[in-house]
Amino acid sequence: MAPVTQANDIMVKLDMLESQLKRIDLLDDQLKSLQEIVDRHEFKLKYPDFKQIGSRYFYIENTSTQYWPTAASTCHEMGGYLAGIKDLDELEAISHYLMKNTWYWIGIRNVNIGEFKYSATGKQARFLKWGYGYPENYDSYNCVYLYNGLMYNYSCDSSNRFICQVDKDI
């Protein structure tokens, strides 16, 4: 076989391989898109009551009230945690879904005098938007609730509505 013919055969094979690689890349992109659809569907099946608010998913209990530990347990049974608010934008987005003049437990606790931590991670709470005069009474007011867009600490054995989050990250 002449060298030119061999070179032509190699070029033809390389072109075929390149075409096949392009098809594989296209199939890979389609597979990724399908996987995202499946993941969203599985998420909705696993967390049917959670709603996307901003970049995260939350459940807001607007009917029944529970003590803080019971609310934390209920969130856990639903596959989540009492919500920790990460910043002002998230607080405002969540507040849009809350009833006015209603208390909602969130996942922040006073674990040591004035040391408020996220219950989901045990890390120091980075965002706290306190109501006027709060926090107060560190000895017995160890749990945090939202009320009209502000945070307050109060006794954990008070019965309030609550907010859960799916992820553990804050």
Is 107 among the domain residues?
yes
Q: What would the mean pLDDT of 41-64 be, rounded to a whole number? A: 85
Indicate the pLDDT class of residue 2, thresholds 50, 70 and 90: low
- Tell me what pLDDT residue 17 has: 78
pLDDT digits 0-9 by tens, 150-161:
999 999 999 999
Q: What would the mean pLDDT of 1-28 be, rounded to a whole number? A: 77
Residue 34 and residue 108 in one domain? no
pLDDT at 41 over 60: no
Mean pLDDT of the chain: 89
Indicate the pLDDT class of residue 169, thresholds 50, 70 and 90: confident
Element (H, E) at 115: strand 115-118
The domain in which residue 113 lies consists of 51-165
Residue 125 and residue 69 in one domain? yes
Whole-number Å distance between alpha carbons of 110 and 124? 10
Residue 41 and residue 64 in one domain? no
Residue 113 and residue 131 in one domain? yes
**Tell me, what amino acid is at 132?**
Y
Whole-number Å distance between alpha carbons of 54 and 46? 19
Confidence (pTM): 0.77
Element (H, E) at 61: strand 56-66
Residue 5 and residue 64 in one domain? no
Residue 101 and residue 31 in one domain? no
Higher pLDDT, residue 85 or 37: 85
- Name the token pair of 26: 């296209």
Higher pLDDT, residue 163 or 114: 163
Is 21 among the domain residues?
yes
Residue 12 and residue 61 in one domain? no
Alpha helices in the chain (DSSP H): 3-46, 68-77, 88-95
Q: How many structural domains does the chain have?
A: 2
Is 170 among the domain residues?
no
Residue 158 and residue 138 in one domain? yes
pLDDT at 69 over 80: yes
